């Protein structure tokens, strides 16, 4: 019983009763997925605060080693990308595939810019022997647990970076679909979903930046 | 609409139509074979372990081999059998039909869940060829960050299987929220759906924490970063907190769906309205909620403060309340019912007897003083087998026999089914009652040899396990054989059940209903 490919702009998939039901389901699924992201990062934030309480001096030393200017630059870049992403969602909802495409491209450029800055930060740290793995750590730390701070830093920002990469992949998927004008006033679930994902990824950075660079 | 005689099984043909199917019922059947396959493999390791323990001296396994077999038994049974067991297999089949939907909300994601389970399981099992893993299924650090290379693979496999579990839960939550048929209010949902709902909440919120924890072990091993390594300032006890933050809710992910199955079976085979519908429904949510607050009861001897220990102890005992609510309501349903002792009902009565013992001994363990005494002994082993095997797996088999005619359009052999269920009951108790006794006397778990004074108990336990294995082998054999050879039935409702799946064709058509039903009353309306 092969299912006929439906034109999602005007019709719903076979197992739904209406386009609205399908849209709401997709939206709720995305929100639930975001809940899993929050729980996952939540565990890491717990580790951050636990070790910070235990080894406060090392957290001070580590925070000072990070370049807050680069961190702030990236914060601005991500905030701007969140703005363009919101505009992309808005334009799709109005049925303007082309305009939305433009905003998605802006967002993607920001995402790449973020990764470039991150690349320079990471290589700088690695160069100074601050990468906390066997064989690569050679930094002359002033406090005993600086290495643990760098562990937490690399794990949290690294996982966040992976999310940015996934976001970029999603953007390319959206670009292809927007180019084919696959969305309409009544069907924009995918753009909205990626938008939500992107906002959460930004939100996590909004917490990471002060916790890592400023405290 | 569909032509007469077609159903979801025969509407498409060929292996490819199965591997690419997005029909929840077909995916359920694929889970049937994979999960029963893993179950037999996990059982094989159990029998190897029990046989080794027949004598106090090593027989055919040395300590290393024993630890590996033990780890594989635990990991297989937990991650590949009991966690996906009821939700992915029975839930997949029943949930959409029970709420009056054509499928789950995200059918492709549903198929992906199956592939992730298979993929994760394969990666985990490949570790056998890299020498196996001897950490136990709990992967405690720092041992797991230092021991054999294969740990990385098993842990990564478990991470992928966790993703599968998350996606199943997410899918079910959205299906329940958004795809119910007209008139199917939340308070008209069958209790099995309620139990899957509570389970899905735990799957979605707890599994990500396990996921990141397992990834941290992988990072620890690959880069030697030391987040759990005390030499580098890390804290191995943090691992235990993270691990049990998932793994305690996980034991309810395993057993709450079984409670749902039991609620259905008891009502149907007592031919009586379930007693305390709301109480049973909300107690599932109650268990889900409390489950997130009790993980510290696994860590009474890990050096946590007395205050923390006391708080976790009290909170853990609170779980007894919703659990007891369920058990009392089931007993009240049985009371003055017209009880039919068909195979599913015998399994459910097994559940009632065994799970009650498992639950009550759980209260013993929740008391800090008792737990310190029996920690890491066979008492704990017996306790969790009473809940996981006597509870979760027994519920799975009850459900498998209950929905078998609907799933396959054939009837299993009733006499043989009953014999298998009774064999399992006898074998199960013969295996684990001796373990309670020797555990309370101090027999430590996870050793391949033991002091001679425990020999009679171990011998009894091992012979019990052979009866148990025979019972389960027979039970699986009946199901698989009668899937192809059982007597064909067309009766829509062989048991006289009152939930929606019994109003559909047997087996159901591809989209479940010729026309989406409009629900006008509560479930379990017997007259
Ligand atoms: Cu627990």
pLDDT value of residue B270: 94
Measured in angstroms, the CA of A132 and the nearest CA of chain B are apart by 6
Pairwise CB contact (< 8 Å): A132 & B226: yes
Residue of A nearest to B515 (CA): A17
Measured in angstroms, the CA of A16 and the nearest CA of chain B are apart by 8
Residues of chain B under the 70 pLDDT cut = 1-4, 527
Pairwise CB contact (< 8 Å): A43 & B227: no
pLDDT value of residue B527: 57
Picking from A191, A192, A194, A188, the residue whose alpha carbon sits closest to that of residue A9 is A188
Domain positions in chain A: 22-214
Quote the ligand 1 centre to B296 CA distance (angstroms): 8
Best interface-test mutation with A: which of B227, B237, B245 has the largest number of A CBs within 10 A? B227
Pairwise CB contact (< 8 Å): A43 & B177: no
Query: Mean pLDDT over residues A97-111, rounded?
Result: 96
Q: How many CB atoms lie within 10 A of CB B213?
A: 28
Interface check A55 vs B, CB under 8 A: yes
Pairwise CB contact (< 8 Å): B235 & A50: yes
- Lowest model confidence (mean pLDDT) among A82-86, A164-168, B131-135, B320-324: B131-135
Q: Is the peptide bond before B379 cis (omega within 30 degrees of 0)?
A: no
Contacts of A157 in chain B (CB under 8 A): none
Is the Cα dihedral A13, A14, A19, A25 positive or negative? negative
Measured in angstroms, the CA of B173 and the nearest CA of chain A are apart by 8
Interface check A44 vs B, CB under 8 A: yes
A&B contacts, CB < 8 Å = 106
Quote the ligand 1 centre to B181 CA distance (angstroms): 37
Count: domains in chain B: 1
Query: Residue-wise over B363-395: b if at least 16 C-beta within 10 A, else e?
Result: eebbbbebbeebbebbbbbbbbbbbbbbbbbbb
Measured in angstroms, the CA of A43 and the nearest CA of chain B are apart by 6
pLDDT value of residue A141: 83
pLDDT tier at A8 (50, 70, 90 boundaries)? Answer: confident
Pairwise CB contact (< 8 Å): B223 & A32: no
The residue range of the domain holding B102 is: 21-503
Task: Find the CB nearest B177 among A1, A17, A28.
Answer: A28
Query: Mean pLDDT over residues A132-150, rounded?
Result: 87
pLDDT surpasses 80 at A23:
yes
Pairwise CB contact (< 8 Å): A36 & B102: no
Would you mind telling me the total number of residues written for chain B in this entry?
527
Task: Find the CB nearest A29 among B2, B107, B170.
Answer: B170
Contacts of A189 in chain B (CB under 8 A): none
Interface check A141 vs B, CB under 8 A: no
Contacts of B179 in chain A (CB under 8 A): 15-16, 21, 25
Pairwise CB contact (< 8 Å): B173 & A32: yes
Helix axes B151-178, B63-75, angle to 10 degrees: 10
Task: Find the CB nearest A21 among B178, B209, B235.
Answer: B178
**How far from chain centre, in Å, is Cα B55?**
31
pLDDT surpasses 90 at A215:
no
Measured in angstroms, the CA of B394 and the nearest CA of chain A are apart by 30
Task: Find the CB nearest B225 among A37, A47, A132.
Answer: A132
Strands, E assignment, B334-440: 410-411
Residue A62's contacts (CB-CB under 8 Å, 6 or more residues apart) are A146, A149, A150, A153
Residue B440's contacts (CB-CB under 8 Å, 6 or more residues apart) are B374, B377, B379
Task: Find the CB nearest B174 among A32, A36, A55.
Answer: A32
Quote the ligand 1 centre to B502 CA distance (angstroms): 36
Measured in angstroms, the CA of B391 and the nearest CA of chain A are apart by 28
Residue of B nearest to A152 (CA): B227
pLDDT value of residue B478: 97
pLDDT tier at A4 (50, 70, 90 boundaries)? Answer: low
pLDDT value of residue B1: 46
Domain contains B514: no
Give the Cα separation of B326 and B275 in Å (integer).
10
**How far from chain centre, in Å, is Cα B333?**
24
CATH number of the domain that residue B297 is part of = 1.20.210.10
pLDDT value of residue A161: 96
pLDDT value of residue B525: 82
pLDDT tier at A160 (50, 70, 90 boundaries)? Answer: very high
What do you get for the CA distance between the two ends of chain B, in Å?
A: 33
Task: Find the CB nearest A43 among B107, B225, B242.
Answer: B242
Angle at A71 between CA A65 and CA A77, to 5 degrees: 170
Share of chain A above pLDDT 70, in %: 98
Residues forming beta bridges with residue B411, ordered by sequence position? B487
Contacts of B171 in chain A (CB under 8 A): 29
Architecture of the domain delimited by A22-214: Up-down Bundle (1.20)
pLDDT surpasses 70 at A3:
no
Chain B residues interacting with chain A (CB cutoff of 8 angstroms): 2, 11-12, 101-107, 109, 166, 170-171, 173-174, 177-179, 204-209, 211-213, 216, 219, 223-227, 232-235, 238, 242, 245, 510-511, 516
- Lowest model confidence (mean pLDDT) among A1-15, A149-163, B155-169: A1-15
Quote the ligand 1 centre to B297 CA distance (angstroms): 6
Q: How many CB atoms lie within 10 A of CB A31?
A: 14
Q: Are B347 and B394 in contact (CB under 8 A)?
A: yes
Q: Is B5 exposed, middle or buried (0-12, 13-18, 19+ CB in 10 A)?
A: exposed
CA dihedral A119, A124, A127, A129 (to 10 degrees): -110
Best interface-test mutation with A: which of B12, B25, B105 has the largest number of A CBs within 10 A? B105
Measured in angstroms, the CA of B112 and the nearest CA of chain A are apart by 15
| Torsional class of B2: left (φ above 0), alpha (ψ -120 to 50), beta (otherwise) | beta
Query: Mean pLDDT over residues A180-202, rounded?
Result: 94
Quote the ligand 1 centre to B18 CA distance (angstroms): 38
Domain contains B517: no
Best interface-test mutation with B: which of A2, A3, A35, A43 has the largest number of B CBs within 10 A? A43
């Amino acid at each position: 019983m092969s299912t006929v490919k439906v034109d999602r702009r005007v019709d719903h998939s076979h197992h739904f009763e209406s386009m609205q039901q399908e849209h709401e389901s997709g939206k709720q699924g995305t929100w639930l997925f975001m809940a899993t992201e929050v729980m996952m990062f939540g565990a890491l934030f717990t580790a951050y605060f636990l070790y910070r309480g235990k080894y406060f001096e090392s957290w001070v030393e580590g925070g000072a080693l990070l370049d807050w200017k680069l961190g702030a630059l990236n914060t601005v870049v991500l905030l701007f990308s969140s703005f363009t992403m919101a505009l992309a969602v808005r334009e799709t909802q109005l049925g303007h595939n082309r305009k939305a495409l433009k905003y998605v491209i802006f967002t993607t450029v920001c995402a790449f810019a973020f990764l470039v800055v991150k690349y320079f930060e990471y290589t700088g740290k690695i160069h100074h022997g601050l990468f906390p793995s066997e064989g690569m750590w050679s930094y002359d730390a002033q406090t005993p647990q600086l290495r643990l701070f760098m562990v937490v830093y690399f794990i949290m920002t690294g996982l966040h970076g992976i999310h940015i990469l996934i976001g970029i992949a999603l953007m390319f998927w959206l670009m292809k679909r927007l180019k084919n004008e696959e969305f309409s006033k009544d069907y924009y679930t995918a753009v909205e979903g990626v938008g939500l994902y992107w906002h959460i990824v930004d939100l996590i950075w909004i917490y990471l930046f002060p916790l890592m660079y400023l405290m | 609409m569909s032509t007469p005689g077609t159903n979801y099984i025969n509407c498409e043909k060929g292996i490819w139509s199965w591997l690419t199917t997005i029909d929840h019922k077909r995916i359920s059947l694929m889970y049937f074979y994979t999960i029963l396959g893993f179950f037999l493999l996990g059982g094989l390791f159990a029998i190897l372990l029990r046989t080794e323990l027949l004598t106090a001296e090593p027989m055919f396994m040395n300590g290393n081999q024993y630890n590996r077999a033990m780890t594989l038994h635990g990991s297989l049974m937990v991650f590949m059998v009991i966690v996906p067991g009821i939700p992915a297999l029975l839930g997949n089949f029943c949930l959409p039909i029970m709420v009056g939907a054509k499928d789950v909300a995200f059918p492709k994601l549903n198929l992906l869940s199956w592939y992730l389970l298979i993929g994760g399981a394969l990666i985990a099992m490949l570790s056998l060829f890299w020498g196996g893993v001897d950490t136990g299924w709990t992967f405690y650090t720092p041992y797991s960050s230092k021991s054999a290379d294969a740990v990385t693979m098993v842990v990564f496999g478990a991470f992928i299987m966790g993703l599968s579990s998350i996606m199943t839960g997410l899918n079910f939550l959205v299906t329940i929220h958004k795809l119910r048929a007209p008139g199917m209010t939340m308070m008209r949902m069958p209790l099995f759906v309620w139990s899957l709902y509570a389970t899905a909440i735990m799957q979605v919120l707890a599994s990500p924490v396990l996921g990141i924890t397992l990834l941290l072990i992988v990072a620890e091993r690959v880069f030697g970063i030391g987040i759990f390594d005390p030499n580098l300032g890390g804290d191995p006890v943090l691992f235990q907190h993270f691990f049990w933050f998932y793994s305690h809710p996980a034991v309810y992910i395993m057993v709450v769906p079984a409670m749902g199955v039991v609620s259905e079976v008891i009502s149907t085979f007592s031919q009586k309205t379930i007693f305390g519908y709301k109480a049973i429904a909300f107690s599932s949510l109650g268990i889900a909620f409390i489950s997130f607050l009790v993980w510290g009861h696994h860590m009474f001897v890990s050096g946590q403060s007395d205050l923390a220990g006391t708080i976790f102890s009290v909170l853990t005992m609170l779980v007894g309340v919703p659990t007891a609510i369920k058990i009392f309501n089931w007993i009240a349903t049985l009371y003055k019912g017209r009880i039919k002792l068909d195979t599913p009902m015998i399994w459910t009565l097994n559940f009632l007897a065994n799970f009650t013992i498992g639950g009550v001994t759980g209260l013993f363990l929740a008391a800090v003083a008792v737990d310190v005494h029996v920690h890491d002994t066979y008492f704990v082993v017996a306790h969790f087998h009473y809940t996981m095997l006597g509870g979760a797996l027994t519920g799975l088999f009850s459900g498998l026999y209950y929905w078998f005619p609907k799933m396959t359009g054939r009837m299993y052999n009733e006499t043989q089914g009953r014999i298998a269920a009774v064999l399992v009951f006898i074998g199960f108790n013969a295996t684990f009652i001796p373990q309670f006794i020797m555990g309370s006397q101090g027999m430590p778990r996870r050793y391949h040899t033991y002091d001679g004074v425990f020999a009679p108990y171990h011998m009894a336990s091992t012979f019990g396990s052979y009866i148990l294995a025979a019972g389960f082998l027979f039970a699986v054999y009946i199901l698989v054989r009668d899937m192809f050879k059982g007597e064909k039935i067309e009766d829509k409702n062989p048991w006289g059940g009152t939930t929606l799946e019994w109003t559909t064709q047997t087996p159901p058509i591809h989209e479940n209903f010729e026309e989406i039903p409009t629900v006008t009353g509560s479930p379990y309306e017997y007259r």
